[in-house]
Amino acid sequence: MRRSLLFIPANSPAMLQNADIFQSDGVIFDLEDAVMLSEKDAAVHLLDNFLKSYAFENLEIVIRINQLDSEFSRVELEQIVSDKIDTLMLPKATAKNTNALSKMLDKLEKSKKMNKKIGIIPIIELASSVLEAKEIASVNRVNGLLLGGEDLSTDLEVERTEDGLELLLARGLVVLAAKAYKLDAIDTPYTKTNDEEGLNKDSSYAKKIGMNAKVCIHPNQIDTVNTVFSPSIQEIEYARKVVKAEADALSTGKGAFTVDGKMIDKPIIDRAKKLLDKAQRWGLL
């Protein structure tokens, strides 16, 4: 279950050491955009040594590798794939390279005698990737789709705007593909790191259309993102009413029941139970 994932440059020792103090659900140690070409080799060695020496609890460890066809990715995979990490984030994802990464992980996990199955979050940041979102979502190991708004806007040759109209269709297609395969739909970062009102508006919109998590590029974004993507007090109370009413109906042999004057059916019950599971996981009950 994810609400927030925080990007951390893999070549910053200070930020690596503080990765678990920010209250995000996961951290993305970035070997791609955050690291200059001249520092790629040093960054993967630094990250590898850090992961070997540091133990995280209740924090998803995600590594954004370089593009799979780059000169760096194979070295990164050989070095950092271990039981210390949970997920790999794949830039410029396509159905082909997502499948290829999954097969590489099959071999690496076997050769390294690992106990863990590593997940994949493909980044949907090309027009072609948006059109392939369903096929990408169906690949073994994929557990979430991330919309990469900045690169997608560049590929579309449009300006990245505050209201995000240029991403309207892509956001919807990513949500549909993710939810069709029971995956997390993860929204693109909000790039203004000191605009809490704008972040709240952007996150709230993403939640309304079906996104259930968002990537953060600065620690000061985490509280807002966690709040938006967490169940509200009102939602929790209503879910509790639904679950209690179902239990009462079952105990009395009733086949149908209402809550607050509204007929309750199985989809509403399932949604209520899932919401309470999330609230429990995030310590909101």
Strands 144-147 and 119-124, how do they pair?
parallel
Token pair for 84: 């210390």
Task: For residue range 135-185, list pLDDT tens digits in order.
Answer: 999 999 999 999 999 999 999 999 999 999 999 999 999 999 999 999 999
Q: Do β-strands 87-90 and 119-124 pair in parallel, antiparallel, or remain unpaired?
A: parallel
Whole-model pTM: value is: 0.93
pLDDT for 205-251, tens place per residue?
A: 999 999 999 999 999 999 999 999 999 999 999 999 999 999 988 88
Kindly report the number of other CB atoms within 10 A of residue 204's CB atom. 13
Which of 27, 13, 10, 102 is CA-nearest to residue 61? 27
7, β-bridge pairs: 28
What is the biggest distance separating any 2 CA atoms in the chain, rounded to whole angstroms? 70
Alpha carbon distances (Å) from 170 to 141, 150, 185, 224: 22, 12, 12, 23
**CATH number of the domain located at residue range(s) 4-229 in this protein:** 3.20.20.60
Domain assignments of the chain as residue spans, ordered by start: 4-229, 233-281
Residue in 176, 152, 149 with CA at minimum distance from that of residue 163: 149
Q: How far apart are CA 179 and CA 134, in angstroms?
A: 10
Q: How far apart are CA 171 and CA 6, in angstroms?
A: 20
pLDDT value at 11 more than 90: yes
What is the C-alpha separation between 147 and 106, in angstroms, rounded? 25
